[in-house]
Structure 1
Amino acid sequence: MPDSMMMNKNGMVSKIQTRIRTDPFKSNYDLVGKELGRGKFAVVKKCVEKATGKEHAAKFLRKRRKGEDCRMDILNEIAVLESAKANPFVVSLHEVYETPTEIILVLECAAGGEIFNQCVADNDEGFTEKDVIRLARQILTGVACLHRNNVVHLDLKPQNILLTSSRPLGDIRIVDFGLSRRMDNVKEVREILGTPEYVAPEILSYEPISTATDMWSIGVLIYVMLTGESPFLGEDKQETFLNISQVNVDYSQDVFEGVSSLAVEFIKTLLVKNPRKRATAEDCLKHAWLGGHADHHARLLPSLAEPEAGQLESEPESPAPSPELLIVASYTMCSSQSEMKAGRGAFTFEDPFPTRPEIQQELIC
């Protein structure tokens, strides 16, 4: 990790390179059109830079949330975006502004919107398997680069994968690093964060987070992209948590109608309870299902060369468990989950995760 970065015990980086501007945002940008997305603590709007006429996405993040100062969380998001600037599949950061109440991230505008929209579209407008293969390669290439830099996203889902264009189908951009963490070789990070449908079993059991945590979410994501159904979504939180902890997945032909058996095998390498037995991003890129469909960007990505010294993944040591459990609510730009088809019923998660004892109680009931 570069000397210029400072990381706390929860894997959050506090020092950034980007200059934070304090002059009025509207002196340099015009806001145009409707909001692109809204969450509990953030709103994303399209803007046009006056000097260049170029479109961007402005993400307005509140610095205080539920009475607490969350500036550190925003600086962490900026630091991760800085570290991923060479990654063509991560949204690029243009500049940053700060007001007394908000920090504004001026980001690349991905005009195609969330892939969520096509995951729940009718058959003639949804993704084909060939589309999913191409987009999956891009997602995995981008995530492999993050993991080589010891970054875990921790909120990979259809709402956080954008498209540069929807018609024709463009390339992907990974967004919303508000929950991301940097992992090093000596510290464990144990937190409950993410979106319930997509979190890995180790999150629910309060075990250490690793790059494998992202890979579970990618397994859920690919399942959704291919079927339009959410594999673990239950009628309530208790059922969803149980489905995840017991890895209750429907791989039947009814769900995967018209989908190749190789695709199902691919998902099975990711939806594995033991994180050490899950496929890595690099493993996935070598899988037969993705063979012969390599995107040209994958060969151009410098971070996918041999990792630099000190960046090799290793098994974390096991210090004493953290005395406190940090509860973090996602402030992502979520579409309504009620649109998602689910074999086990639809349910919209709006509340942050409960504390660890409450989760355990729900799982035992």
Structure 2
Amino acid sequence: MGPKPNTKEEKDDTQKQPRTEMEESATTFEGEKKKSRSRDKPDPVMITDALTDVRTKYHINPREIGHGHYGVVRKCMDRQTREWFAIKSIRKSKVGKVDVLKREIDILKEVDHPHIIKLVEVHEDVKYLHLVTELCTGGELFDRIIAKTQSSEGHFSEHDAATIVRCILDAIAYCHDVKQIVHRDLKPENFLFKTEKEDAEIKIIDFGLSRHDTLNFGVMKTKVGTPYYVAPEVLKREYTKSCDIWSIGVITYILLCGYPPFYGDSDNQIFESVKTGRFDFPSPDWDSISDDAKDFICCMLRKEPSKRLRAAEALKHKWIKDQSDEEDTISRERSKVQHSSNRSVTFKKFMGMQKLKKAALGYIATHLTNSEVGVLGDIFHKIDESHTGVISLQDLDNALAHGKLVPFVFEGVCQRLFLCIICTILFGERERSYQITQNVFGIFHPCSLQETFHQNYC
């Protein structure tokens, strides 16, 4: 699906910028300051077959609209057509496995579906790989779930949930049956809405863990995925494309109640819950949800992979077909229940930590080199003498008192606390990193991380 023309707001935003700023914006990447340039050597790795200057065709707005493990996302405008796109700039020195990145690019070039992000062009220069894609401004499904759990409804209506799931199934049926592609990491963070409208198109945006299932009779053995959404057979390292069906079943469950079917206070507890394959529909949260919706989820979350519905079969399920025909307004009204169970609270903490971790990783991708990230890990383990997987304030005080920290890394208390947070998030245990982060954020100032914390925890 091709990109849509820029809106009036986007046009006005462009017109306000001086010509000189437009011409220079592509070179003003945050974190690429002079001291960084002198420190980093040009990366010789080639991912495409040629080096090109993305600025020749596109004006790049310097303001970030997203970030991930390896780089940042900004808006860019085609200088001739004045259409707006998104550009993901990946710092090549951050990429550990070039072949995995190449595979993702090849898959994005291969697919063409209205519910999969459209890759427009790829440009590569000495330091960065730039992926130009269609622009989606409606935010993540992740964010809409959070918003719903905090609303009077507490979750999506059956109609809205079925509409989203149908779009996801349509894209996955295309991947599985037409392209023989397995996604392997379907989760709310990997879906974007085209616009902010309630009925906006939803797009799969991340194929970083995807692969073709044409080898070994479609059986895969690499343990990949995210705790709440991973299928039990993936944990056993022998699985097929039906692992995607399981993940969609989990997403459906969350859309309808605001929390996941498999839960725990740590990753290991979640994995153990997933391995059992046992889940329920607790009262009163599920009392107003239709039997058809529950049956659909049960068909998607069958522990035996071969007994699960295929994506094409799931599209024909009664719940999907009936809810897609017309909105059930009675169901929508009856479903306005605020869920405050322990499961929901635990899941909100997890979702909040994922948001905080993304913000931290975005900072690291922009500001730190691989060697500096390695230093963070070394410092973390030196401070964490008891090997608990978490840095306490007492640990930090002891480290400062005994000179265990490299002087040039720390130039102030806030930076020390920032390092503590980053180290704990990256190298510590998830549930404990929440505790340490909560303790120190009262005197921590970098606004993007602080805002993320307060929005998702406070």
TM-score higher than 0.5 = yes
Question: Cα distance, 1:227 vs. partner?
Answer: 1.5
Inter-partner Cα distance in structure 1 for 2:60 and 2:153: 34
1:287/1:352 CA distance change after superposition, 3 Å? farther
| TM superposition shift of 1:343 | 5.6
Task: Select the residue among 144, 148, 151 that pairs with 1:118.
Answer: 144
**Does 2:92 align with 1:63?**
yes
Find the counterpart in structure 2 of residue 13 from structure 1.
none
Q: Helix, strand or coil for the counterpart of 2:288?
A: coil
Output aligned runs, 1:180-259, within 5 Å.
180-184=210-214, 186-187=216-217, 188-207=219-238, 209-259=239-289
Classify the secondary structure of the residue corresponding to 1:120.
helix
Equivalent residues of 1:111, 1:165 under 8 A apart: yes
Query: 2:456 is matched with which residue?
Result: none
> Which structure has more RCO (C-alpha within 8 Å, separation ≥ 6)?
1
Q: Greater helix percent: which structure?
A: 2
Residue 167 of structure 1 deviates from its aligned partner by 1.9
Correspondence for 2:121 among 89, 95, 114: 95
Q: Distance in 2 between matches of 1:353 and 1:275?
A: 33
- What's the offset of the Cα at 1:19? 7.4
Please give the residue correspondences for 1:38-57 in structure 2 after superposition, counting only pairs within 5 Å: 38-57=67-86
Q: Is the 8 A contact 2:48 2:124 kept in 1?
A: no
| Structure 2 unaligned blocks of 5 or more | 1-46, 326-342, 358-424, 429-458
Give the aligned residue type for 1:127. F
Of Structure 1 and Structure 2, the greater strand share is in: 1
The separation in 2 between residues aligned to 1:246 and 1:344, in whole angstroms, is: 19
Match of 1:269 in 2: 299
* Aligned residue type for 2:241: T
The answer to whether the 8 A contact 1:118-1:127 is kept is: no
Separation of aligned partners in 1, 2:51 and 2:263: 43
The SS at the match of 1:58 is: strand
In structure 2, distance between residues paired with 1:223 and 1:240: 16
Deviation at 1:33, TM superposition (A): 6.8
Which residue in 2 is equivalent to 1:12? none
Residue-by-residue CA offset, 1:145-192 (whole Å, 9 max, x unaligned): 000121001111111111112224211111100110101154532101
Q: Which has the larger radius of gyration?
A: 2
1:293 is displaced (CA, Å) by: 4.8
Change (3 A) 1:184 1:279: same
Q: What's the CA shift for 1:234?
A: 1.8
Asked if residue 130 in structure 1 is aligned to residue 155 in structure 2, the reply is no
When residues 253 and 94 of structure 1 are mapped into structure 2, their CA distance, relative to the original with a 3 A threshold, is same
Q: Residue by residue, what CA displacement relative to the aligned partner does 1:322-352 show, whole Å, maximum 9, x if unpaired?
A: xxxxxxxxxxxxxxxxxx9356783346689
CA distance in 2, matches of 1:123, 1:194: 31
1:79 aligns with 2:109: no
Point out where structure 1 has 5 or more consecutive residues left out of the alignment. 1-17, 296-339, 355-365
Task: Provide the alpha-carbon RMSD of the alignment.
Answer: 2.7
Alignment of 1:289 onto 2:319: yes
Aligned residues: 289
State the Cα distance separating 1:253 from its structure 2 match.
2.8
1:58 Cα deviation from its structure 2 partner: 1.0
Answer yes or no: is the 8 Å Cα contact 1:233–1:342 preserved in 2: no
Equivalent residue letter for 1:154 = R
Distance 1:198 1:252, change over 3 A: same
Q: Secondary structure at the match of 1:53?
A: coil
Partner of 2:370: none
Match of 1:346 among 344, 349, 357: 349
Give the structure-2-normalised TM-score: 0.58
* Corresponding residue for residue 31 of structure 1: 60
TM-score for the superposition, normalised by structure 1: 0.72
What residue identity is the alignment partner of 1:84?
Answer: V
Instruction: Quote the sequence identity (%).
Output: 33
* SS of corresponding position for 1:256: coil
Q: Matched residue of 1:269: which SS?
A: helix
